[in-house]
Structure 1
Amino acid sequence: MSRALEAAEVTRCEEVVDAFLDQWAAHGHSLRAGRELRERRFLLVGVDVDAEAPSGCSIDALTNALRRLGVELGVSFIDHAPVWFRQGEEILTVSRPEFRQRAASGEVTSSTRVFDASLTRVSDLRSGKLERPAARTWHGKAFFREQVGG
Structure 2
Amino acid sequence: MSVPLTALPDTARVWIYGTDRPLASPEREALMADLRAFVDEWTAHGAALRAGVEWVEDRFAVIAVDEASAPASGCSIDAMVRRLAALETRLGCSLLDGTRVFYRDESGAIEGCNRAAFRAHAASGTIVESTPVFDPTIERLAELRAGELERPVARSWHLQLTGHPAGRS
What TM-score comes out, normalization by structure 1 length? 0.94
- Secondary structure of the structure 2 residue equivalent to 1:107: coil
1:149 positional shift: 8.6
The 4+ residue runs of structure 1 with deviation greater than 3 A are: 147-150
What amino acid maps onto 2:104 in structure 1?
R
1:5 positional shift: 1.1
Question: Aligned pair 1:122/2:120, yes or no?
Answer: no
How many residues are matched? 150
Q: Tell me, which stretches of 5 or more residues in structure 1 are unaligned?
A: none
Percent identical residues: 40
The CA RMSD measured in Å over matched residues stands at 1.5
- Secondary structure of the structure 2 residue equivalent to 1:76: coil
Q: Give the equivalent residue in structure 1 for 2:87.
A: 69
Question: Which of 29, 41, 50 lines up with 2:59 in the alignment?
Answer: 41
Question: Which of 155, 162, 168 lines up with 1:136 in the alignment?
Answer: 155
Provide the C-alpha distance between the structure 2 equivalents of 1:72 and 1:112, rounded to a whole number of angstroms: 33
1:91 positional shift: 1.1
Q: Give the equivalent residue in structure 1 for 2:130.
A: 111
**Cα deviation digits, residues 75-97 of structure 1 (max 9, x gap):** 11111101110012211111101
Answer yes or no: is the 8 Å Cα contact 2:118–2:161 preserved in 1: no
Provide the C-alpha distance between the structure 2 equivalents of 1:144 and 1:108, rounded to a whole number of angstroms: 11
1:148 positional shift: 6.3
- Secondary structure of the structure 2 residue equivalent to 1:138: coil
What TM-score comes out, normalization by structure 2 length? 0.84
Q: Tell me, which stretches of 5 or more residues in structure 2 are unaligned?
A: 1-18
Higher relative contact order (CA 8 A, sep 6+): 2
